[in-house]
Amino acid sequence: MTGIHLLTCYSFWMILLVNLFSAEKVVSTTYTVGDEEEWNTGVNYLSWSQKYNFSVGDVLAFNYVKGQHNVVEVVEETYRSCDASSGVLATYNSGMDQVKLTQAGNYWFICNISGHCLGGMKFGIVVREGNATKASVSTPPPPTANGVHTPAKARAWAFLAAALGILLWV
């Protein structure tokens, strides 16, 4: 009887532990630029960039046919002019580029294949501090950012409550 009790107890704590761990991991999200349309000509990246709330630690995944496009992180002026003769911060051209958003602030990306930037392969995003430093941010984070992060935490607490409830009841 005690053995089964201990086993039940152990399982619940393991589930709880796994859930708490995954709740921490959910803070980092990988966003595929352009979603299913990926990084191509003829996609409206302005509307794509406004669909999400980006946080420090998130990753942008640029997927495209290597050689047909590239990814250039630039300053705002270069983003506006599409003239990458100056203001280039980083260049990626593997066809599967993962760009980690390491600090809060504004980021601008363009494709530097002739005509592509002027044709709309360009966007800017605002990256905010992640959940871990939320307390030190003076302005409240947008509601959707909360929506992304709260369920996992809530789930973890629900597990804790359930585990404690069963332990008391048994």
Residues that bind Cu ion (CB under 5 A): 69, 111, 113, 116, 121
Alpha carbon distance 51, 45 (integer Å): 10
| Residue in the structure block whose two tokens are 């809060």 | 104
Q: Which is nearer to Cu ion, 31 or 109 (CB)?
A: 109
Least Å distance, CB 84 to Cu ion, is 12
Vertex 26 angle, CA 23 and 32, to 5°: 165
Q: Which is nearer to Cu ion, 60 or 111 (CB)?
A: 111
Least Å distance, CB 103 to Cu ion, is 26
AA letter at 43: V
Least Å distance, CB 100 to Cu ion, is 21
Please give the structure tokens belonging to residue 75: 């300053």
Q: Which is nearer to Cu ion, 122 or 128 (CB)?
A: 122
Alpha carbon distance 87, 79 (integer Å): 9
Q: Which is nearer to Cu ion, 97 or 130 (CB)?
A: 97
Q: Which runs of E-coded beta strand occur in the chain?
A: 30-32, 54-55, 59-63, 71-74, 88-92, 96-100, 105-110, 122-128
**Which DSSP string do the residues of 93-120 spell out, in sequence order?**
-SSEEEEE--SSEEEEEE--STTTTTTT
Least Å distance, CB 41 to Cu ion, is 6
Q: Which is nearer to Cu ion, 69 or 128 (CB)?
A: 69
Least Å distance, CB 119 to Cu ion, is 8
